[in-house]
Chains A and B, each alone.
Chain A
Amino acid sequence: MTTTEKPQEFKVVGTRPIRHDGVDKVLGRAVYGADVRLAGMIYGAVLRSPHAHAKITKIDTSKAEAMPGVFAVMSGKDMPLVASGALDLGETVDDTAFTSDRVMAHDKVVYKGHPVAAVAAIDQNTGLEALKLIEVEYEVLKPVISLEEAMAPGAIVIHEGLIGSDQGEQVKNTNIAVHNRLEFGDPEAAFDQSKTVIERTFIISRAHQGYIEPHASTVFWAPDGKITVWTTTQAPFGVRKTISALLNQPLSNIKVTPTEIGGGFGGKIPVYLEPLAAVLSKKAGRPVKIQMDRRAVFEATGPGPGGTVKVKMGVDDKGKITAATADIRYGAGAYPGASIGAAASGIFACYEVPNVRVDSYDVVINMSKTAAYRAPGTPQATFASETLVGELCEIIGMDPMEFHLLNASKEGTRRPDGPLFPRVGNEGCLLAIKDSDHFKSTLEPSAEGKLRGRGMASGYWNGIGNKSSVTINVNDDGIVSLVEGNPDIGGTRTTIAMQAAEILGLPAEDVHPAVGDTDSVGYSDLTAGSRTTYATGTAAIEAAKMVIDEMKKRVAMIWETEYENIEHIDGMFTNKVAPDRRFTFKEAAGKLGQTGGPVAMTGTVNVRGSGGGSFGTHLVDVEVDSDTGKVEILRYTAAQDAGKAVHPSYVEGQFQGGAVQGIGWALNEEYYTSDDGSMINSTFLDYRMPTSLDVPTIDTIIVEVPNVNHPFGVRGIGETSIVPPAPAVANALADAIGARLYQTPMNPGRILEALAAKKAGK
């Protein structure tokens, strides 16, 4: 079901064409990171630290270097010394020195799985055998794993050189990289005058994106200094910039070709293998390919951060929110960079809160550095705020839907971090759920021993705009080639092509999209922040408009009339003063050779912001087995504001995919970590992600409140859908079992404990 406001007329946008890359992917022809094969290519392998925290006292690679079949060996001493500096990756900014240290340890390892050396050999097995010949001596240090340890006075300091920021004040000898505070009004005074105030603390597990394709990179460092990279990434231009910064090489000497990508969700923004493959390639004089196995992906790449979130909220006698505060503490992993800014911005974004304070802490611990994970930082914070709202509604005896509607943020509401919302779809999503068959239905009684419950939650993700480029080439046969610079992680190749097709007046199938390398398309920021269909689509619209403008000039030449006389409507060029003269786009394209040559146009944009972001509301029914604690999702409905859904099937797919990831985080997913900092469940057998057998069909409702920043009203929609699931499930579980859980995952063990505590009257 789609609820539409103020509809524009579209021919292509809003339809459901078959994806352009579908056949290649179904037939196995698509080239992913591990599929790259080059003449003379050799294989890299990485030696990783068995310790989470240790000084490296000695590395002896001589035996590995002497092994037959080994072409090159490297360690930290082969990486240039890089000073601290800003590494602007479009959505986030990393530090060059920390990034260099993260991809290859220098004097110290700071997470289990930290690379300490790498080899390039004739084949994979030879490389793995050579790793066994590398002698590394460590002085093992006590790892700092928990937030409590890391933040305690006198804590072991992981990075002696880190200078933290406590609300702008420099702090040395600390693991707290950043403490920020947002504040408006006077929360304490407002709490004092509130009818009801509750405060709860929530614990959220660290969770991995779980992309199916492990990281894989191939690099050839040619004798002339040109570095060519094939890699699975969300940010080819970010890879280029990072390699340039870490290896002190000219940016323009580096070409990055993004391969097809088997999932990313933010986890394929950082660079891991590329600099190592580059150094090995330079040493060996051959192309070097390195792939991760699943254990390396879990242990040594960036999941979303875990942490604690304390939330306090007050309401008046009508249920109107008077004040809210939050204390958000995330474990960033071994280097700073947990998404605390987004968490602080998003935690109360669904509500009008007149008095608010949010403290947020980015804390370094001895685990792999976290990365972006779909709406970075926000699902964790919203698990706390929306679960607290569910309990607050129980306490004051108010229906959660009515509470949400009474307090919903809307156009003109000040966000917790300050800016005012433009026109947004928060209320639209709530009303869409309220009007759904699911909401109107009655939860069927459960069988004996089973407990059923229903819960809801809302969520928000702002997203970004930023820089994109698209080039459109008009072929003689009227088919259009479109080259864009954003790896396609969610069908964006097609949604970008559809926006160009809308302007060109062509069917989507007549626009052939491709993702270009960094030499063949203009600079494009990363595929992340729900920006690609929105921002790169805007660039495609710009390029298409330029194509039409040029085509009109050419048609005017052919008809020997003035440019002003030419019209283009629905793919047809006409002459206003001679209406019988008509060219289809294809007919005009076939005559370009006689009018000045090819038509190829590039649209470049730097889009301001997201236009207010995207809200979503989810409703879920669960059934709990009171003997085993197992949870079954009976029914699930997700409503979200898409602005204008370019390809409704892909929008629905994003809603469903995010919901399922969120259900996994809610019920099963966590890093089991031993005291020495080892992840114990680093396989998909033990790291339990939901499969299609674990969830029913996720029903979707596309709400369309146009984004004023986009010509068609499009909003970025890829991330919001992971925000509401965990609190919606938590509220449904509370409804089912009559007890509250404050920690993810809400797995059978914790549910049985909650049931037992309830039975014991605790």
Chain B
Amino acid sequence: MATVFLPMPIRRRIGGEPSLTVEGATLRQIISNLEERIPGISNELIDPELDDRVIRSMSAIIDGESAHMGLRTPVGENAEVHFLPAIAGGAPQSVTLPNRNEER
């Protein structure tokens, strides 16, 4: 089973444990199996637009390397999976710009 290290906010919600062991041969299976134990977590991890990668403010790291095939990336039997803030960090959850003034 893989050892999954969750982001801090989720970690706090489940009692502070830094990691938990999860079955799964791909990143998608790992998240799917996490969902059974932590309902709602897939909505927090999976990009709703693309549905094949984690959310844009986050990187999935498997055994120290990025999940280069998104949710399809294979996960080894004893792999470590980390969900980390993306390098550039600066992707807010969403943004709504004010209506543009077409009349100016």
Residues of chain A touching chain B, judged by Cβ–Cβ distance below 8 Å, are 56-59, 76-77, 81, 84-86, 88, 91-95, 97-98, 101, 106-108, 159-165, 167-170, 177-178, 180-184, 332, 335-342, 344-345, 360, 362, 372, 376-377, 417-422, 464-466, 606-612, 709
In the assembly, what is the distance between CA of A482 and CA of B44, in Å? 43
Report A171 CB to chain B, min CB distance, Å.
Answer: 9
B26 within 8 A of A: no
Residues on B with C-beta less than 8 A from A420 are 63-64, 80
Scan residues 57-104 of chain B and give those whose CB is less than 8 A from a CB of chain A: 57, 59, 61, 63-66, 68-69, 80, 82, 84-102, 104
- B64 adjacent to A339 (CB under 8 Å): no
Cross-chain contact of A107 among B8, B69, B80, B101 (Cβ < 8 A): B101
- B97 adjacent to A170 (CB under 8 Å): no
Cross-chain contact of B91 among A58, A95, A101, A466 (Cβ < 8 A): A95
In the assembly, what is the distance between CA of A181 and CA of B12, in Å? 11
B23 within 8 A of A: no
In the assembly, what is the distance between CA of A419 and CA of B92, in Å? 24
Residues of chain B touching chain A, judged by Cβ–Cβ distance below 8 Å, are 5, 7-10, 18, 44, 47, 49-50, 56-57, 59, 61, 63-66, 68-69, 80, 82, 84-102, 104
- B57 adjacent to A160 (CB under 8 Å): no
Closest to B5 in A: A418
Closest to A181 in B: B8
- B7 adjacent to A168 (CB under 8 Å): yes
Cross-chain contact of B96 among A76, A84, A164 (Cβ < 8 A): A84
In the assembly, what is the distance between CA of A169 and CA of B89, in Å? 15
Can you show 15 pairs from A to B with CB atoms below 8 A apart?
A: A84-B96, A86-B49, A107-B100, A160-B98, A161-B95, A169-B9, A338-B89, A342-B87, A344-B85, A376-B88, A420-B63, A422-B64, A465-B65, A608-B66, A709-B65
- B66 adjacent to A178 (CB under 8 Å): no
> Contacts A338-B90, A418-B61 given; 12 further ones with Cβ under 8 A?
A58-B104, A95-B91, A107-B101, A160-B98, A161-B97, A163-B95, A163-B96, A178-B91, A337-B89, A338-B88, A376-B88, A609-B61
- B90 adjacent to A607 (CB under 8 Å): no
- B9 adjacent to A107 (CB under 8 Å): no
Report B94 CB to chain A, min CB distance, Å.
Answer: 5
Cross-chain contact of B56 among A93, A344, A377, A709 (Cβ < 8 A): A93
Report A417 CB to chain B, min CB distance, Å.
Answer: 5
Cross-chain contact of A180 among B44, B80, B85, B100 (Cβ < 8 A): B85
Closest to B99 in A: A107
- A419 adjacent to B87 (CB under 8 Å): no
Report A297 CB to chain B, min CB distance, Å.
Answer: 21
- B68 adjacent to A178 (CB under 8 Å): no
Cross-chain contact of A95 among B59, B68, B95 (Cβ < 8 A): B95
- B104 adjacent to A77 (CB under 8 Å): yes
Residues on A with C-beta less than 8 A from B102 are 77
- A332 adjacent to B90 (CB under 8 Å): yes
In the assembly, what is the distance between CA of A341 and CA of B84, in Å? 8
In the assembly, what is the distance between CA of A219 and CA of B93, in Å? 33
Report B14 CB to chain A, min CB distance, Å.
Answer: 13
With A165-B92, A465-B65 as known contacts, state yes or no: A339 contacts B87, CB within 8 Å.
yes
- A606 adjacent to B69 (CB under 8 Å): yes
Residues on A with C-beta less than 8 A from B98 are 107-108, 160-161
Report B44 CB to chain A, min CB distance, Å.
Answer: 7
- B95 adjacent to A98 (CB under 8 Å): yes
Cross-chain contact of B64 among A169, A182, A337, A421 (Cβ < 8 A): A421
- A170 adjacent to B84 (CB under 8 Å): no
- A106 adjacent to B82 (CB under 8 Å): no
- A77 adjacent to B100 (CB under 8 Å): yes
Q: Which of B9, B50, B80, B93 has the most CB of A within 10 A?
A: B93
Q: Which of A76, A86, A163 has the most CB of B within 10 A?
A: A86
- A76 adjacent to B91 (CB under 8 Å): no
In the assembly, what is the distance between CA of A358 and CA of B104, in Å? 46
- A360 adjacent to B85 (CB under 8 Å): yes
In the assembly, what is the distance between CA of A344 and CA of B89, in Å? 10
In the assembly, what is the distance between CA of A164 and CA of B96, in Å? 11
In the assembly, what is the distance between CA of A377 and CA of B86, in Å? 12
What 6 pairs between A and B have smallest CB-CB spacing? Answer: A609-B65, A337-B90, A336-B90, A168-B9, A161-B96, A340-B89
In the assembly, what is the distance between CA of A180 and CA of B90, in Å? 10
Q: Which of B49, B59, B66, B92 has the most CB of A within 10 A?
A: B92
In the assembly, what is the distance between CA of A182 and CA of B61, in Å? 14
With A107-B98, A161-B98, A419-B64 as known contacts, state yes or no: A339 contacts B88, CB within 8 Å.
yes
In the assembly, what is the distance between CA of A84 and CA of B59, in Å? 20
Cross-chain contact of A362 among B61, B90, B93 (Cβ < 8 A): B90
Residues on A with C-beta less than 8 A from B88 are 91-93, 337-339, 341-342, 372, 376
- A336 adjacent to B85 (CB under 8 Å): no
Cross-chain contact of B87 among A91, A95, A422 (Cβ < 8 A): A91
Report B83 CB to chain A, min CB distance, Å.
Answer: 9
- A419 adjacent to B80 (CB under 8 Å): yes
